[in-house]
Amino acid sequence: MLERPADVTRLARLFHALSDETRLRIVGKLLGGEQCVCNLTDALDAGQSRLSFHLKALKDAGLVSDRREGRWVHYALNPDVLQEIKSFVGSVREGAARCC
């Protein structure tokens, strides 16, 4: 998993998206299913532009996708990304097994 430079770059991006508390809390909210931005603004104590900034970070990393419905925009977790993290964890486990 970490042999190919492209994978290293991709994983670094992914982990960076998850390396911020505000973004992790957003992810936490999205575990309950798709949410409109207004719900997230209420739930987290983050100002509007701050929330938007972090949603963009999550979206750029491919972790979430957005969907416009009238005036509202809904964000949801992208299930594909999970596989990438799982592959990484898998490769680490193999490595750990080999060495200990």
Give contact residues for a copy of itself (rule: CB under 8 A). Answer: 1-3, 8-9, 11-12, 15-16, 18-21, 24-25, 27-28, 30-34, 76-77, 79, 82, 85-86, 89, 91-96, 98-100
Residue 6: name its binding partner from DNA, a copy of itself, none (Cβ under 5 to 8 Å by kind): none
- H or E element that contains 15: helix 5-17
Q: How far is the CB of 16 from DNA (least distance, A)?
A: 6
Q: Does 77 bind DNA (CB under 7 A)?
A: no
Handedness of CA 9, 10, 15, 20 (dihedral sign): positive
Q: Does 38 bind DNA (CB under 7 A)?
A: yes
Strand order of the sheet with strand 35-36? 35-36, 72-77, 64-69
Structure tokens at 92: 């680490």
DSSP states of 12-35: HHHHHHTSSHHHHHHHHHHTTS-E
Residue 67: name its binding partner from a copy of itself, DNA, none (Cβ under 5 to 8 Å by kind): none
* Sites of contact with DNA (CB under 7 A): 16, 19-20, 22, 36-38, 41, 46-57, 66, 68, 70-73
